[in-house]
């Protein structure tokens, strides 16, 4: 199998992107849920870390100083009570924190702080599926398909295969007769009074949601490949 070289215009686009995120990583921005725009989020920094690392592997243009600075910043400011925190100054966990190890490898999955973070996510946010964070009120703050797959992916990586299989079974049980998966399931929500206002504004929770299907496929492929 031969691999064609990456086209120069693509490399230029990648270089421009790397320069941009390297220059701005210290600044507040919205998180992956399009919320809390005045904060600094460990998940966002993990995506930047993963992106710069992948760019360096592709091009040889290593940004080692920046990667080290991001890791040092998070180790100094991104933890609370022995786990990673939702954003700097907020000690909640957010399930998107899984990205620090899975898949962006800012830390390894078995690393103690990462493991405690996953265990707190499970304890605080995973009654069956998985919620975003404890004070979430978007559509009441229900249980997200993609987050159940994401947590299952993490558990499989650290050898907790039964937990991963239980989450996959829960996801499959949420599919409708067409096999479509929604964004979230409004069962055991954080704030029941906030379900109706969101439904009135936008309609029922999005179905099908591409991200839900994509994360389910990632989980299933990973379990098959690493089984």
Catalytic residues: 31, 34, 183
Report residue 175 as tokens. 């599919």
Are 151 and 131 within 8 A, CB to CB? Answer: no
Are 186 and 195 within 8 A, CB to CB? Answer: yes
Continuous segment of H or E residues that includes residue 184: strand 184-185
Residues with Cβ < 8 Å from 1, sequence gap 6 or more? none
User: Helix 145-157 crosses helix 210-226 at what angle (to 10 degrees)?
Assistant: 20
Helix, strand, coil in percent for the chain, rounding step 5: 55, 5, 40
Phi, psi of 148 (to 5 degrees): -65, -40
CA dist 124 to 86, 92, 143, Å?
13, 9, 12
Are 70 and 24 within 8 A, CB to CB? Answer: no
The residues pairing with 83 across neighbouring beta strands, listed in sequence order, are 80
CA dist 130 to 33, 63, 187, 201, Å?
15, 35, 11, 24
């Amino acid at each position: 199998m031969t691999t064609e070289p990456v086209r120069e215009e693509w490399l230029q686009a990648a270089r421009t992107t790397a320069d941009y995120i390297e220059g701005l990583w210290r600044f507040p921005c919205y998180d992956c849920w399009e919320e809390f725009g005045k904060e600094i989020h460990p998940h966002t920094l993990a995506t930047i870390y993963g992106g710069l690392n992948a760019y360096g592997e592709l091009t040889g243009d290593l940004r080692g100083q920046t990667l080290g600075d991001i890791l040092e910043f998070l180790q100094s400011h991104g933890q609370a009570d022995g786990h990673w925190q939702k954003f700097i100054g907020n000690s909640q966990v957010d399930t998107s924190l899984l990205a620090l190890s899975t898949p962006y490898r800012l830390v390894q999955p078995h690393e103690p702080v990462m493991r405690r973070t996953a265990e707190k996510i499970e304890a605080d946010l995973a009654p069956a599926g998985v919620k975003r964070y404890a004070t979430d009120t978007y559509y009441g703050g229900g249980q997200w398909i993609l987050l159940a797959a994401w947590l299952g992916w993490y558990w499989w990586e650290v050898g907790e295969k039964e937990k991963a299989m239980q989450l996959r079974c829960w996801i499959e049980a949420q599919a409708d007769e067409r096999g479509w998966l929604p964004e979230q399931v409004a069962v055991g929500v954080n704030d029941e009074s906030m379900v109706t206002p969101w439904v009135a504004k936008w309609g029922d929770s999005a179905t099908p949601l591409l991200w839900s299907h994509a994360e389910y496929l990632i989980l299933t492929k990973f379990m098959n490949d690493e089984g």
